[in-house]
Chain A
């Protein structure tokens, strides 16, 4: 059964850092591109970052570029998001999601992990 499980969320002060993880199972993780998507409280979906299956291509949303770093470990079927210089605007549920090709949308999603940035 296809499964993605995020972890690492929590409460952090403005300017702080967090590292999110996403553990995959039930599919060939190394064949999938992966993304992080976030959803602020009561708001819509916002794409954050993309990482190709091999790890060779990376994109970031302008709102996080220079502060967030996406990475993956295909040997451990894991995706990561290092988040630095956090602000209140980064408060959201963070989902990892992916698919076989980004042209075809994201057909696997985790349940999300909540990040709250507050003093």
Chain B
């Protein structure tokens, strides 16, 4: 199975700050990586597919990059609605696996 390791597990930041979340796969997955945002009590929402493709309606302050084993999700200027938990998920092979999550909290 492919293990997905996210870091940090949590980060405190202020509105307007930039935040970068890292996701590392235990083996190469090409660019078959998705990022999700989950707010408390809600289902996850797909933000980015194939490592860098922004889903429709997702603000351009979100961006993704990487390939192979190392990936990043960057939020360029945090907005109040961005405080949430973010998960990466490898879509290369089964079993599909998620990272442990990164909680972005208000400083």
Contacts and interface: CB of A to CB of B under 8 A. Distances in A.
B3 to A, nearest CB: 13
Contact of A105 (B34, B95, B97, B99): B34
Contacts, number: 64
Interface string A101-116: 0111111011110000
A35 interface: yes
A103 B32 CA distance: 6
Interface stretch (A11-19, A41-49, A67-75, A77-85): A41-49
Q: Max chain B CB contacts within 10 Å: which of A59, A102, A106, A107? A: A106
Q: How large is the interface on B (under 10, 10 to 19, 20 to 34, 35 or more residues)?
A: 20 to 34
B76 interface: no
Contacts of A111: 42-43
Q: Max chain B CB contacts within 10 Å: which of A46, A61, A95, A103? A: A103
Interface stretch (B10-18, B66-74, B86-94): B86-94
B91 A103 contact: yes
Contacts of B89: 45, 47, 105-106
A105 B87 contact: no
15 contacts: A37-B44, A44-B98, A45-B89, A46-B98, A47-B89, A47-B98, A59-B94, A62-B95, A102-B91, A104-B49, A104-B53, A104-B91, A105-B34, A105-B36, A105-B48
Interface of B: 32, 34, 36, 38, 42-46, 48-50, 53, 55, 87, 89, 91-92, 94-101
Given A44-B99, A47-B98, 16 more contacts: A37-B44, A44-B98, A44-B101, A45-B98, A46-B98, A47-B89, A47-B97, A99-B46, A104-B49, A104-B50, A104-B53, A104-B91, A105-B36, A105-B91, A106-B89, A107-B55
